A and B are shown apart, each in its own frame.
Chain A
Amino acid sequence: MNPISRRQMLIRASAAGVGLAGLPAFLAACGGDDSKSSGSSSGTSTKFTMQAAWVNDAEFTGYFVALTNGYYTDQGLDLNYQSGGPDVIPESTLLAGTSPLALTTPDSTIQAIVNDNAPFVIVGAQYQKNPLGVVSLKKNPINSPADLVGKTLAVPPSNTVSVEAMLSISGVNKADVNIVPYEYDPTPLVKGEIDASVDFTTNVPFTIQQAGEEATSFLMYDYGFTIFNDTVVVTKDALKNNRAEIVKWLRASRMGWDENFKDPSKYPPMFTDTYFKGTGRTIENELYFNNAQMPLIKSDGGIYSMSEEAIAANLEALGAIGIKGTRDMFDTTLLEEI
C-alpha cells in the first residue's frame, strides 16, 4: 500500500474535475480516476517517482501543470510526485532507491559525488540562475555587494560559504560585513534589526510587501555565484536502465513549464484546491513567485538546458567554495533526445 500514490491520484483527479471541487474528495477521486484511465492508453504506463526539493509551492508549478494536463500520462509515465521538506535530503531518496530522480542543489550533489563517490549524474537544470539573492528594503537599499560594507547581513548557515565567495569575488573584505544567521523569516528585515538577508528573491519580497514595506534585491548569481538550482539528478544505474523514462520525464516536464510560462498568472489559482491547498501560503504569494521565477528558469536552449558556458560557470563558482566538480558529472545528451 502506498499512501502517497493514493493521495496523488486523488489530487490529480480533483484537479481534472474543476467543477467537482465541492464534492467529497472521495467521490471526485473515483470519477476523475475513471475518466483518466479511459482517456489514455491504459495499462501501458510505467510508474515513475520524482523527489521534489521542498514543500509544494510555485517553485514546482511546471510539474503540477504537466500532471494536471496529462503530459506525463501522454508519455506513458504514471508519475508519483513526492514533496520535500527541511529534513528530506533529495539525494538520499536516490541512494535509498525510493526515487530514481530528484531535484537538488548543485553544490550538495557535486560535493556528494566528490566526497563519497555518490553515483549521481546531473541531466538538467530547472533554474538557469540560482534564485538566491541579497534582499533589502527600498528605503535602505543594498544594490551590490559593495553596498554591504558596514551593514548587517543575515545568511542561512548553509549559504555562508557561498556568500563569502561572492564577497571575495566582488572585492569586498568579509570582515567588513556583519554576517548573522538567518532562518528564512523576513520579520527582522522588516523591523530594521538587519539591513539585508540572503533569501529566495522569487519569494520573500512578496512577504515583505505584505508586511507593509517595499523590497529590492540582487541575485548572487550576478556577482560571481554562478550556479544552477533545482538540478535534475539521477543515479548512474537509472541512467543505464531507465534512460527512456528519464527522457520522457524531461519532455513532459518541459512541456509543463512551457505551458505554465505562456501565462504565469494562469495556473497558480487553478491549484488553489489541489496542489496548493493547505500549504499555509497564499495564492497571491504563488502568483508573485511564478512570475518572478520566469526569467530565472527560461532558457534559449529550452527548459532544463545546460550550455557548456553555464556548466563551466557552475564548476568555477563551486571551485571558489572548495567543491571541485568536473564536466563529466553533467550529462547533456538526454536533453538532446527530447
Chain B
Amino acid sequence: MKNFSRFARGTGVVLIVLAIWEVLGRLELIGQGALPAPTQILAQLWKDRSDYPPHLSVTLKSAGTGFVIGNIIAIIAGAISARFRIAETLLRGLGMSLFAVPLIAIVPVLLLAFTGTTPRIILAAMAVYFPTYIATMNGMRNVDPRLVDVVMVAGGSTTDVLRWIRVRSALPHIVSAFRVAAPAALLGTLLAEFGGGTRWGLGTYLLGSLGQANPSRLWSIGLVATAVAASAYMLFALLGSRLTRSSMSATVQTALPMGGATGPWWKRLGGGVISAGVVLGLWALVLSILDMSPVVAKSPFAIVRYLTTDPRASLSRSRLFHAYSETLPLALIGLLCGLAAALLLAVIFSLRPALGRAVLPFALVSQTMPLPALTPLIVLVFGRSILATVVVCVSVTFFPSFVTISQALATTSTAAIDVVRVSGGGRFKSLRFVGLPGAVPAMATAARLAAPRALLGVMIAEYLATGNGLGNLLNESRGRLDYGMIWTVATTSVLVAVLITQLFGLAEKLTRK
C-alpha cells in the first residue's frame, strides 16, 4: 500500500512536469521554440515513423556486435588478470586508456582505417571493455575462501574452483557491469555513426536532421535513443537482480579500484611504464597488421616526430596547446558544476527523500540520453555559448557523481549519527557533522570517475556547437588533411585524461587518510 501511494505520487509529479513542459512548448517560451511540447515531439515521431526501423536496426546491430565482442575480450582479460597479477599489471594501461579515452577523438582515426559499420562496432567494443573487465577481475578474485577450502578438501582442482566458485561469484558482478556497458556501447556506436561512412544508423539520421530548423525531430531522435539505452540498462538490471536476489540500488559502479597497484613507488612506476608499453606495442602491431599508408596511419614514433622534428612542429605544438588551453578549463568548470549539482541533490535526497525521488527520473533521462543526441538539444535551448558547453558537461558528470555521493551519505556510520542525535541534533546537524565530512572522499572518487566524461562532454560540445578547443581542432585537421594532428589529438587526449584521473585518484587517497 505504501509502495502504491509512493508510485502514485511519483507519477503525479511526472505528469505535472509534462503538463508544464507542454505549456512551455506550445507557447514557445524557451529559446523561441527550441523546446517543443511533448505532444509536438510525439506528432513528429509519428510522422517519421517509417524512418526509424532501418536506422534503429543498423544501430542496434552495430552496438550489439560491439557489446558482445568487447565483453568477451573484457571477460577473458579479467579472468586472466584475476589469476595472474602480472597480467593485471600489463593490462592496467590498456584498461585505463579505454576508461579515460574521449571516444570522439578516436572516431576519425577509426574511419581512416576501416569502412562500413566496422568503426561503430570497434568503438562500441572499446566503450564496454573497462567496466566488464574490472567486474570480472574483482568478482573472480573476491571469493569466500571457505568455499574454496570446501572444493579443495573435496579433492577439487584449481580448475574446479574456477568453474564452481570463481565464475559463479563473478557472474552477478559482470551482469551489473553490463548495465553500464550497454548504454556505453550505444554511445560509442552513435558517435561513430555521426562521423559518417554509411547510410543507416540513428547517428546518421541525427546528422541529417541537424540544421533543418526542426527541433521536434532532434528531440524525438534524442528520446528514441534514450529509450533504447534505458531499456538495455533495465534489461540487465532485471537480470542482475534475479541473479543476486538482492536489490542493488546503485546504478553505476562506484568503487572502481583504479590505484590497485601497491608496493614501493619505483615498482608502481615500473608497472606503469610497462603497461604503457603494452598499449604502444598494441598500437604499432595493429598498424602493421592493417598495412595502411604511412601518410594516413601514424605510429607512436611518427607522432613524436610530428611534434618535435617536423618542420611544422612548432606550429602544430602551439595549435595543440591552444586547443587544450580552451578545452581543459571548461572541462574542469563543468566537472565542478556537475559535482556541486550532484552534492546538492544528494543532500536534498538525504533530507527530503520524497523530493529527491521526484527529481530523479529527469536526472536519469539526461544521464541516459546519449551525448551526441543530447548536445544538439542543449544547444537549441542554451545557444552556442560557454554556458551550453558547461551544461553538457554537467549533464554527463552529474549522475554518476550523485550515485557515488549519495551512497557515501547513506552509509555514514550510524553510531556517529546516534551521537549527534543523543546530543540533541536533528537531521541537519547529523548531515553537517557526519554526512558531509564523510562525503569528501566520495567527492574525490566521483571526480575521478567523472573527469573523462567531462572531457568527452566538452569535446563533443566544441565539435558540434561552439567551434573551439580540441573538438574544433579535430574538425579543422580533417579539413586540412592533417593526419598527424588527428592522431596527436587522439593520443594526447588519452594521456591527458589518464593523467587527470590519476590526479583525482591521488586526491582520493589523501582524503581517505
Contact = CB atoms under 8 A, between A and B. Distances in A.
B478 interface: yes
A40 interface: no
Interface string A37-64: 0000000000000000001100000000
B281 interface: no
B217 A280 contact: yes
Given A108-B479, A158-B479, A207-B212, A7 B198 contact: yes
A97 B200 contact: no
Contacts of B22: none
B476 A158 contact: yes
B112 A96 contact: yes
Contacts of B188: none
A85 to B, nearest CB: 1
B472 interface: yes
B116 A83 contact: no
Interface string B190-206: 00001111111000111
Contact of A83 (B32, B197, B212, B464): B197
A66 B21 CA distance: 48
A280 B296 contact: no
Contacts of B299: none
A316 interface: no
Given A278-B51, A280-B205, A96 B116 contact: no
B115 interface: yes
Contacts of A88: 111, 195-197
A191 B295 contact: no
A87 B198 CA distance: 12
A158 B292 CA distance: 27
Given A207-B212, A280-B208, A82 B479 contact: no
A211 B212 CA distance: 9
Nearest to B113: A96
Contact of B55 (A182, A204, A278): A278
Given A95-B293, A281-B212, A116 B108 contact: no
Most A CB within 10 A of own CB, among B113, B116, B194, B292? B116
A86 B467 CA distance: 14
Contacts of A182: 467
Contacts of B475: 86, 157-158
Interface in B459-508: 464-468, 472, 475-476, 478-481, 483
Given A82-B115, A191-B32, A186 B213 contact: yes
B213 A211 contact: yes
Nearest to B477: A89
A190 interface: yes
A84 to B, nearest CB: 6
Interface in A93-107: 93, 95-98, 105
A170 interface: no
A82 B199 CA distance: 9
A183 interface: yes
B54 to A, nearest CB: 6
A157 B207 contact: no
B389 to A, nearest CB: 13
Contacts of B117: 3
A207 B211 CA distance: 8
Most A CB within 10 A of own CB, among B112, B464, B472? B112
A3 B62 CA distance: 12
A4 interface: yes
Interface in A248-282: 277-281
Contacts, number: 142
For the side of the interface on B, what is the size category? 35 or more
Nearest to B217: A280
A3 B481 contact: no
A86 B194 contact: yes
Contacts of B344: none
Nearest to A160: B476
B277 to A, nearest CB: 27
A147 interface: no
Given A181-B468, A183-B464, A210 B213 contact: yes
B26 interface: no
B213 A108 contact: no
Contacts of B108: 87, 89
A91 B207 contact: no
A181 B213 contact: no
A184 interface: yes
Interface residues of A, number: 50
A97 B293 contact: yes
Contact of A85 (B204, B209, B295): B204
A56 B292 CA distance: 27
B296 A96 contact: yes
Contacts of B195: 85-88
B107 interface: yes
Contacts of A89: 108, 111-112, 478, 481
Contacts of B478: 86-87, 89
A185 interface: yes
Contacts of B205: 278-280
Given A2-B116, A280-B217, A85 B476 contact: no
A99 B117 CA distance: 16
A185 B55 contact: no
B112 A92 contact: yes
Contacts of A277: 51, 54
B207 A85 contact: yes
A108 B481 contact: yes
B384 interface: yes
A118 interface: yes
A29 to B, nearest CB: 13
B476 A96 contact: no
Nearest to A181: B467
A111 interface: yes
B234 interface: no
Nearest to A52: B196
B210 A184 contact: yes
A55 B213 contact: no
B41 to A, nearest CB: 15
B292 A96 contact: yes
B225 to A, nearest CB: 14
A85 B243 CA distance: 43
A95 B297 CA distance: 10
A183 B292 contact: no
A183 B113 CA distance: 27
A87 B213 contact: no
Contact of B196 (A87, A111, A204): A87
A292 interface: no
A112 interface: yes
Interface in A175-200: 181-188, 190-191
Contacts of A278: 51, 54-55, 199-200, 205
B197 A85 contact: yes
17 contacts: A7-B199, A83-B199, A87-B108, A91-B481, A95-B295, A116-B295, A158-B476, A181-B468, A182-B467, A184-B211, A185-B211, A186-B211, A186-B213, A278-B51, A280-B212, A281-B212, A285-B212
Given A3-B117, A95-B293, 16 more contacts: A3-B116, A7-B200, A55-B199, A55-B207, A82-B197, A86-B196, A87-B478, A92-B111, A96-B113, A105-B479, A204-B211, A278-B55, A278-B199, A279-B199, A280-B209, A281-B208
Interface of A: 2-4, 7, 55-56, 82-89, 91-93, 95-98, 105, 108, 111-112, 115-116, 118, 157-158, 181-188, 190-191, 204, 207, 210-211, 277-281, 285
Which 3 pairs from chain A and chain B are nearest by CB?
Answer: A85-B196, A87-B195, A280-B208
